[in-house]
Copies of this chain bind each other. A is one copy, B any other.
Amino acid sequence: METTESKFGEYVRRIQHFQEALSLMAWDLRTGAPKNGVEARAEAIGTLSDEVFALVTSERMGEFLTDLESRFDGLDSKTAALVRECRREFDRYRKIPRDRYRAFVVLTARAESVWEEARDRDDFALFRPYLEEIVAMTREFAEYWGYEKEPYDALLDPYEPGVRTADIDPLFAELKAETVRLVEAIADSGHRPNAAALIRPVTRETQREVCRWALETIGYDFSGGRLDDTAHPFQITLNPGDVRVTTRYDERDIRTALFSVLHEGGHALYEQGIDKELAGTPLYAGASLGIHESQSRFWENVVGRSRAFWQRYYGELRDRLGGGWDDVDLETFYAGINDIRPSLIRTEADEVTYNLHIFLRYDLERALVSGALAVRDLPGAWREKSRELLGIEPSRDAEGVLQDVHWASGSFGYFPTYTLGNVYAAQFREALDRDLGGLDPVLAAGDLARVRGWLRERVHRPGKQLAPLDVLARATGVDHPAAEPLVRYWRGKFVPLYRL
């Protein structure tokens, strides 16, 4: 006999099947789909997206939810979490008038291509009217969704459920003070790594092999994934057995591909580690953007930029680079992958100054959303903030306010999750260090399976069944993002490295 639960499960699985097709179409566009087919592909994506939207917000979905919610306490925990997640999506879309949602989709699709042109031509004025409209609609949507204290909270919630500006403000203030202090101390130390020693040609073919080796080393399962070339690296999940990674290559600098693949590999380990029982549901996903980012930062930075990891693996890496690296010893390599200095572009920033880029964006986008800052004043405000936080300012908007696509996509509330990722990663690191009786010896022994096993049980397995702060509490015993572990991690690493 078919129960409501089984029919609901089937309905939800159907949505996931369309999502798989959409994910594959997106992956394909970014890994070599021929340019002449892009326009038709965009239309096909539009058709399938409409279908997903219709299914997620249908009367049928509403009936399922009402029925299941009426006996919520009797549901098993997985079904309960599924009902909660579907309700969140349902309300999120249904609260916005359909024609306004469509207008927003069309507006942001156009804005993304205008933004690209504006960035290439260094012409903020071209992008400005679009951004003004996006900010206005974002403010309008925040009102539909509702919030307790300020509209920005309504935007943050879908990315980081349960986290509010009231949690972020003190956290970011503490981190900002510490970061500025640390960056100044490093600048004043007079020590500079010989990063130039790492700049030497490595063929794309060799780099690809190195990336495959790096992914296998951290435990990525190639029988459930693949690695491809792309312009802007990303990780994408088609289904639980198909978790893909992409990277890009700089034939003069191995660091670009290596750390991007460790980063995306960290995302992939999360996706490969989720409980397979959640397959075919939207719960087969990260708990939040911040928790997801914590996993990529963990493998990229906490592991991938540690001395302990390279004590074990630098010899293997050097062998794979095939000669020409004999003059680069472990210490030179370790220093060269930890070159801390303020720079203009977020995506190229080191693990310390990176957060300064986020504080800048967080302050500005929050002011845009509250109405305290007008879009016309944004480029000036950007330069001012940049000088204040990084000590440098862009001479061109292309290297300033126009460098990221997020606002053109209408993704307000997204940026802070990057720093939350760094914060969570350090919290996980301390808990792991405690539970394993010292992380460094485990890394130095190459016993990465123990590290992965801990993350899998504590962080990966529940997927989106748990809210991000519940995942955090479960793994660390602390139920909120805290600055101290990140500060302690930095001090432990950079005080000796830069002899501060």
Interface residues in chain A, defined as those with a beta carbon under 8 Å from any beta carbon in chain B: 13-14, 16-18, 20-22, 24-25, 28, 32-41, 43-44, 46-48, 51, 221-226, 238-242, 244, 279-280
Asked if A242 contacts B17 (CB within 8 A), the reply is no
What residue in chain B is nearest A27 (Cβ atoms)? Answer: B28
Q: Which chain B residue has the least Cβ–Cβ distance from A238? A: B37
Residue in contact with A34 in the complex, picked from B16, B37, B39, B241, CB distance below 8 Å = B241
Cβ of A391 to closest chain B Cβ, rounded Å: 45
Q: Which B residue's beta carbon lies closest to that of A19? A: B44
Give 18 pairs: A residue, B residue, CB < 8 Å, sorted on A. Answer: A13-B43, A17-B43, A17-B46, A17-B47, A18-B48, A21-B22, A21-B48, A34-B222, A34-B241, A34-B242, A34-B244, A36-B224, A37-B238, A37-B239, A37-B240, A38-B241, A40-B242, A44-B239
Contact A41 B223 (CB under 8 A): no
A280 near B40: Cβ-Cβ < 8 Å: yes
Instruction: Report yes or no: A242 in contact with B41, Cβ–Cβ below 8 A.
Output: yes
Would you call the interface of chain A mostly helix, strand, loop, or mixed?
helix
User: What CA separation (Å) do A242 and B16 show in the bound complex?
Assistant: 25
Q: Is B40 a contact of A20 with CB atoms below 8 Å?
A: yes
Q: Measured between alpha carbons, how far is A37 from B244 in the docked complex, in Å?
A: 11
Cβ distance A235 to chain B, nearest Cβ, rounded Å: 14
Q: Which chain B residue shows the least CB distance to A272?
A: B36
User: Which chain B residue has the least Cβ–Cβ distance from A44?
Assistant: B17
Q: How far is the CB of A226 from chain B (nearest CB, A)?
A: 6
The docked-state distance in angstroms from the alpha carbon of A280 to that of B43 is 10
The 10 A-B residue pairs with the shortest CB-CB distance in the complex, in nearest-first order: A37-B242, A36-B241, A37-B241, A40-B239, A36-B224, A17-B47, A17-B44, A21-B21, A20-B44, A37-B239
List of B residues within 8 angstroms of A47 by Cβ: 13-14, 17-18
How many angstroms between the C-alpha atoms of A47 and B17 in the bound complex?
7
Closest to A45 in B: B17
Which of chain B's residues have a CB closer than 8 A to the CB of A222?
34
Contacts of A221 in B (CB 8 A): 36
